[in-house]
Amino acid sequence: MSSPAERVLVVGAGMVGHRFVDELVRADRVGRFEIELIGQETYEPYNRILLSEVVAGRADLKALSLPLPDSERVQFRRGVAAVELDLAGRRVLLDDGTATPYDRLVLATGARAFVPPIEGLERAPRHVHVLRTLDDCRNIAARAMNAKHAVVLGAGLLGLEAACGLRRRGVPVTVIDVDDHVMATQLDGAPARMLAGRLRDLGVGVITSSSIAEVINAYDEIVAVRLADGRLLAADLMVVSCGVRADIRLAADAGLAVDRGILVDADQTTACAAVHAIGDCAQGLEPMTGLLAPGWRQAERLVAVMRGSTVEIAADAPRTPVREQVRLKATGVDLVTMGVRASQAGDDDRLVTLTDSRARRHVDLVIRDDTLVGVTCLGAPEISAALSVAFERRTPLPVDPLTMLVPEGRTEEPASPVRMPGATTVCRCSSVTKKDIVTAWEGGARTPDGVAAVTRAGTGCGGCREVVCGLVDWLNASDPDIATATGPPASRHVVARL
Amino acid sequence: MTLTPSEGGVSVTARDFSTNMGGLCQKGWTSAEVLSVGDRIITPLLRGASGALEPTSWEQALAFIAQRVQLLQTTYGVDSIGVFGGGGLTNEKAYQLGKFTRTVLRSRHIDYNGRFCMSSAAAAANRAFGIDRGLPFPLADAGSADAILLLGSNVADTMPPLVQHLARVRDRGGLLVVDPRRSATAALTADGAGVHLQPLPGTDLTLLLGLLHLVIAEGHADQAYLEARVTGWDDVRRSVALWWPERVADITGVAEPVLRRAVEVLAAAAPARGGRGAMVLSGRGVEQHTDGTDTVTAAINLALALGLPGRPASGYGCLTGQGNGQGGREHGQKADQLPGYRSIEDPAAREHVASVWGVDPATLPGKGVPAVQLLDKLGTEIRALFVHGTNLLVSAPDALAVRARVEALDLLVVCDFVPSETALLADVVLPVTQWAEEEGTMTSLEGRILRRRKAIDPPGQARSELSILADLARALGSTVRFQTAPAEVFDELARASAGGVADYSGLSHALLDEEVAGFHWPVPVGSTGSPRIFGRRFGHADGRARIVPVSPGSPHDDLRPEAPLYLVTGRVLAQYQSGAQTRRVPALGKSAPAAFVELHPALAGRYGIEDGDDVRVTSVRGSAVARARITSAIRPDTVFMPFHWSGAGMANAVTNSATDPISGMPEFKVCAVDIARVPAELLEEDVHELAR
């Protein structure tokens, strides 16, 4: 490579920016790119997905740190924020007063937690938090040590994880949502009501079709919330989980086209050819879900574009919004949803539903042309992972989908030696059947060791010795005369019993 | 086992030994029958003008080989001769084969069927510990452990006596088995004896990363051990941050509570946490993949994170398959290796071994290529092949393609004692001795060197490879000295191995005859052996283990609409390898008469297949037809075939020869297939076509 390296500047060291850099370093073996990564947080990159696990006390912080970018290939600056894009000058101004140039700019600025306007919040009372960063997570976990009543505003995926996590730490908690059921983005009413039941079983209060009208403070601390219907709930910890808003300020200020996110084409490229956006800050062909998987796909796609491969977007692009695979992480609740939900199933689809109110179980399968296109699975951990695999890998389905809902029963019962058929293999190591043992016994072998000497049953792994002993005892007991006789046994008599 | 010469052969009795605890499986009990099978080869055979293999004399056979080899080497160069060895050969034979290739043929092209068994585990163990001994502790230690994680190993079928060592672990609820089938071994976890994790084929590495993630998340990592004995922990800790259990469950199909339970059991058994010991043991199921080395590395990483290697009744180990799978890989059959587990690229090693052999180190060839690549060169770069103790026409992946390449050779020489599928294709077949007819040593999966003793004389004109190689060396005009007495070959092997990783220099046949329990290597002069090798230090120069971050690949031949199922292959109890030996024993044939296709009732229903129907399993490479065996013990997205049969039911006609980039291990264990019921009337035609 004779041409000088292309300078790639990545703004945002969250999970998508991090993934993009990792993929680009892997793909670029010849050093075509010189990469700089700017991260606003002072922490090393971490797995944001697991913050709710830390709140729940289920994951050590050590389990969150992501691999550091290869220091030989990537200049990584953390604790530094970009403050302005100079598109004409191809540089980014930073909050430490410096500027850094680029040939190609990748915006992975992510999203910020959305906090709705609520009376009382304007005074920024203590112990009200969003859950977006490691600092948020630490603050919530610290407060959970002595909180008496927590409220979580928003019963989406993250809100429920936070609520379950706080409950696991022993904090009484109530989750409040404006929709008429929990996880409305992912769930239909029926499974959502079942989920709410499960949450209540765990001690999590659930209030739907309501909202918080006012946060009541005393001495700059939250003490209670007043709901829209006037109810008052004591609260000394509040987590706001009302979704996110793309962080588009830098792009908008620089005059790039923005809507809810930074507008990009199928190649993740903005109106300016040298500037790309990926992850939560980007608004492209896919719906903006706030989920990780689409962001990772965009990172991979952009790397492919930068390597010069023509990406097969065309086939993917016009597809109807697919419900991404979403799995709730919470002790005691197993919920996974993906693809078409029951209420969207068409007339030609096959919709199979299992509802088990006592066990708080609800499963919807949507099958289209013999393919599993939608799964909602609550309270059935023994099948949910298998359904995920069948959905993702599109493996052949059984003719009767009901069998997918029933985990394999143990069909082999520990057979009594007396009742097992003659052809049953007793000793696998030496392939000895019950009939072989009976034959040996008829031939005069009246002890387990005697039977072993003739048939070798029990001389391999030894796992069948108990059964061999049982058979010999049964045979000996069956005819004491024969057992003690010295002459040839009445074989016909024994065989007839088989 | 103990052999007693008897009328017309030998009789077998079990010997009470700590490894097998006096147990033998059906193959052991019937092993004497292999000595006297009806079609045993007892004279050299040479392909005559008629095209058939005809009896000939040793002189003529060897002269023919020597003349052809010389001609080919003159025309195409020294590397045009290849040698393919086996993990069933004695240490003496394996050593001599490597020496013959490097000093007489002077070809770099030698490798062996152990590449199909052990290579991924060996590569990973070398990378992590700087030493590769299947088990770095005696197997009997397993009886003291609280938990054992068995990864892709069906020991209840492949080495039944080992199951006795699992009894106490099962009593303690500590047997964890990872297998896409509820195999006989996985079934041992039932009734509270442990946990069966049944992942989608090809996702073992992801599963292991998920387990390591949980170990860290739940605070079970043994920090003090990692600081004192391991290098690289920080990178590995970070590398699993993205493998949280819910994500891993959705990829592997193993439910999240099962993952958590497995980690709980394993961590509680770790000595650092007050347990009596935890072992992580791998088998071919997780190793025979294009990411097999990395998968074993992930298994080792899990063991290191829990502080297991070097602790009582704890650590990582690999369960060797072939009789001399361990010894066979230590003394020069591997493409890059000299005796004593030395690198052929290390100048000091070359100098030492060359001095033992009495040759100039500069004349030794460099490293060759792993087995699958070697087979790829047949008929082009490699014009002649010597095959010892392996039936690669049945046992190699993508076997139909291998057959075509073998047919393109100018010369195929097969040393065997039965007319295997490979022998039947040879230009020359040389009859050799087998186990009860020869003296020698084998090295067990515990790195324990054991004597093999002669009980009876070989039949007909069968000879040991030791004398065949000596004669061939002479016929080829070599002045290098080849001993033929096994004890003398062993003495030379011991000298050649001195100072190497697998050091046998303190041993002799006489010493091994005195101490029947054997010695665990390394056994330098004056040593009494090393049963447990990681107590204080690992094999790297600084004594520390290396923990290396890995990430999952996906199967090379992955699911797609026209191939929506995975095929996994494996073994049945009553057969061995390509079946060349065991298919000739009537009792074993009765227990396991033919190939079969195991499939789930839901899958069978979808394809209209009933138990006993003939099923065709097809990949892009080829297809095999065998009887359907319907069982709920297998995942509904996976079919299983045993690989012991040739002809229509040959599983390796379907398998993929893509290899692991580090170890050269082919991906036997997973490829994408479709299946179909074969109407009975079509079958006969098919069989003929396949046979052609």
Q: How far apart are CA B141 and CA B320, in angstroms?
A: 17
Residue B210: what pLDDT? 98
Chain B residue numbers touching A55 (CB-CB < 8 A): none
- Distance between A11 CA and the closest CA of chain B, angstroms: 21
DSSP-H helix ranges across A266-368: 292-306, 313-316
CB contact under 8 A, A460 and B23: yes
Residue in B with minimal Cα distance to A371? B561
Provide the token pair at A4.
Answer: 């000088």
Provide the token pair at A5.
Answer: 């390296």
B213 vs A63, A334, A461: nearest CB: A63
Instruction: Give a yes or no: residue A208 inside a domain.
Output: yes
Domains identified in chain A, total number = 4
Residue in A with minimal Cα distance to B19? A461
Chain A residue numbers touching B168 (CB-CB < 8 A): none
Residue B551: what pLDDT? 94
Instruction: Give a yes or no: residue A284 inside a domain.
Output: yes
User: Where do we find the tokens 């045979």?
Assistant: A475
Q: How far apart are CA B273 and CA B264, in angstroms?
A: 11
- For CATH 2.40.40.20, the residue range(s) in chain B are 565-691
Instruction: Give a yes or no: residue A316 inside a domain.
Output: no
Range(s) of the domain holding residue A339: 326-405
CB contact under 8 A, A431 and B573: yes
Cβ neighbours around A398 below 10 Å, total: 17
| pLDDT of residue B411 exceeding 80 | yes
Span A3-17, mean pLDDT? 93
> In B, residues 11-30, which contact A (CB 8 Å cutoff)?
14, 21-26, 29
B637 vs A58, A395, A461: nearest CB: A395
Residue B516: what pLDDT? 81
| pLDDT of residue B636 exceeding 70 | yes
Residue B312: what pLDDT? 96
Per-residue pLDDT tens over the stretch A251-310: 999 999 999 999 999 999 999 999 999 999 999 988 888 889 999 999 999 999 998 865
Residue in B with minimal Cα distance to A15? B242
CB contact under 8 A, A64 and B241: yes
Q: Does residue A237 sit in the same domain as residue A131?
A: yes
Whether B41 and B30 have beta carbons less than 8 Å apart is answered as: no
Residue A51: what pLDDT? 94
| pLDDT of residue A77 exceeding 70 | yes
H or E segment at B33? helix B32-35
CB contact under 8 A, A60 and B216: yes
Which of A49, A430, A456 is the best substitution to test chain B (most B C-beta atoms within 10 A)? Answer: A430
The pLDDT-based confidence of A492 (bands split at 50, 70, 90) is very low
Residue A408: what pLDDT? 65
Q: Does residue A206 sit in the same domain as residue A260?
A: no
The pLDDT-based confidence of B1 (bands split at 50, 70, 90) is confident
| pLDDT of residue B688 exceeding 60 | no
ipTM for this model: 0.89
Q: Does residue A232 sit in the same domain as residue A254?
A: no
Q: Where does a domain end: A308, A343, A361?
A: A308
What is the domain-level CATH number for residue A454?
Answer: 1.10.10.1100
CB contact under 8 A, A399 and B606: yes
Task: Give B220 or A44, the one with higher predicted confidence.
Answer: B220
A381 vs B157, B164, B256: nearest CB: B256
Instruction: Give a yes or no: residue A383 inside a domain.
Output: yes
Between the CA of residue B529 and those of A274, B69, B507, what are the distances in Å? 66, 42, 9
Q: Does residue A288 sit in the same domain as residue A337?
A: no
Residue A494: what pLDDT? 36
Beta bridge partners of A336: A327, A377
Residue A488: what pLDDT? 43
The pLDDT-based confidence of B212 (bands split at 50, 70, 90) is very high
Q: Does residue A157 sit in the same domain as residue A216?
A: yes
Q: Does residue A217 sit in the same domain as residue A266?
A: no
User: Where do we find the tokens 């927590």?
Assistant: A150
- For CATH 3.40.228.10, the residue range(s) in chain B are 119-318
Q: Does residue A74 sit in the same domain as residue A156?
A: no
Q: Does residue A91 sit in the same domain as residue A192?
A: no
Q: Where does a domain end: A202, A219, A242?
A: A242
CB contact under 8 A, B246 and A395: no
- Distance between B164 CA and the closest CA of chain A, angstroms: 5
Q: What is the CA radius of gyration of chain A?
A: 32
| pLDDT of residue B144 exceeding 50 | yes
* CATH number corresponding to B119-318: 3.40.228.10
| pLDDT of residue B155 exceeding 60 | yes
Chain B residue numbers touching A457 (CB-CB < 8 A): none
Which of B246, B258, B573, B610 is the best substitution to test chain A (most A C-beta atoms within 10 A)? Answer: B246
Instruction: Give a yes or no: residue A375 inside a domain.
Output: yes
Q: Does residue A335 sit in the same domain as residue A284?
A: no
Provide the token pair at A276.
Answer: 């790309």
Chain B residue numbers touching A46 (CB-CB < 8 A): 241
What is the domain-level CATH number for residue A344?
Answer: 3.30.390.30
The pLDDT-based confidence of B16 (bands split at 50, 70, 90) is confident
Per-residue pLDDT tens over the stretch B248-280: 999 999 999 999 999 999 999 999 999 999 999
Chain A residue numbers touching B163 (CB-CB < 8 A): 460-463
Main-chain phi, psi angles of B475, to 5 degrees: -60, -30
The pLDDT-based confidence of B686 (bands split at 50, 70, 90) is low
B257 vs A325, A381, A386: nearest CB: A381
Q: How far apart are CA A427 and CA A462, in angstroms?
A: 8
Residue B176: what pLDDT? 98
Span B395-408, mean pLDDT? 95
Residue A430: what pLDDT? 84
What mean pLDDT value characterizes chain A?
89
What mean pLDDT value characterizes chain B?
94
Residue in B with minimal Cα distance to A57? B218
Fold of B40-116+325-520: Rossmann fold (3.40.50)
What is the domain-level CATH number for residue A23?
Answer: 3.50.50.60
What is the residue type of B196?
H
Instruction: Give a yes or no: residue A318 inside a domain.
Output: no
Phi-psi region of A286 (alpha: psi -120 to 50; beta: other; left: phi over 0): beta
- For CATH 3.40.50.740, the residue range(s) in chain B are 40-116+325-520
Contacts within 8 Å (CB) and 24+ apart, A132-140: A132/A48, A132/A51, A132/A244, A133/A41, A133/A48, A133/A51, A134/A41, A134/A43, A134/A46, A134/A51, A134/A61, A134/A64, A135/A41, A136/A51, A137/A51, A137/A54, A137/A55, A140/A55, A140/A166, A140/A237, A140/A239
Q: Does residue A365 sit in the same domain as residue A380?
A: yes
Question: Residue B64 contacts by C-beta under 8 Å, 6 or more apart in sequence?
Answer: B46, B56, B428
Instruction: Give a yes or no: residue A304 inside a domain.
Output: yes
A398 vs B221, B241, B602: nearest CB: B602
Per-residue pLDDT tens over the stretch A301-321: 999 999 886 555 444 443 445
Per-residue pLDDT tens over the stretch A381-417: 989 999 999 999 999 999 999 989 987 654 444 556 7
- Contact status of B590 with chain A (Cβ, < 8 Å): yes
Span A93-103, mean pLDDT? 96
Residue A238: what pLDDT? 98
Chain B residue numbers touching A459 (CB-CB < 8 A): 14, 22-24, 29
Q: Does residue A68 sit in the same domain as residue A161?
A: no
User: Considering chain B, what percentage of its residues have pLDDT values greater than 70?
Assistant: 98
Span B575-584, mean pLDDT? 88
Chain A residue numbers touching B591 (CB-CB < 8 A): 431
Instruction: Give a yes or no: residue A63 inside a domain.
Output: yes
Per-residue pLDDT tens over the stretch A134-183: 999 999 999 999 999 999 999 999 999 999 999 999 999 999 999 999 99
Residue B552: what pLDDT? 93
Q: How far apart are CA B224 and CA A463, in angstroms?
A: 40
> In B, residues 591-650, which contact A (CB 8 Å cutoff)?
591, 602-603, 605-607, 632, 636-637
The closest of B342, B321, B320, B322 to B330, measured between CA atoms, is B342
Chain B residue numbers touching A390 (CB-CB < 8 A): 637
Q: For A498, what's the count of Cα atoms within 13 Å in the CB-facing half-sphere?
A: 17
Is B565-691 in CATH node 3.40.50.300? no
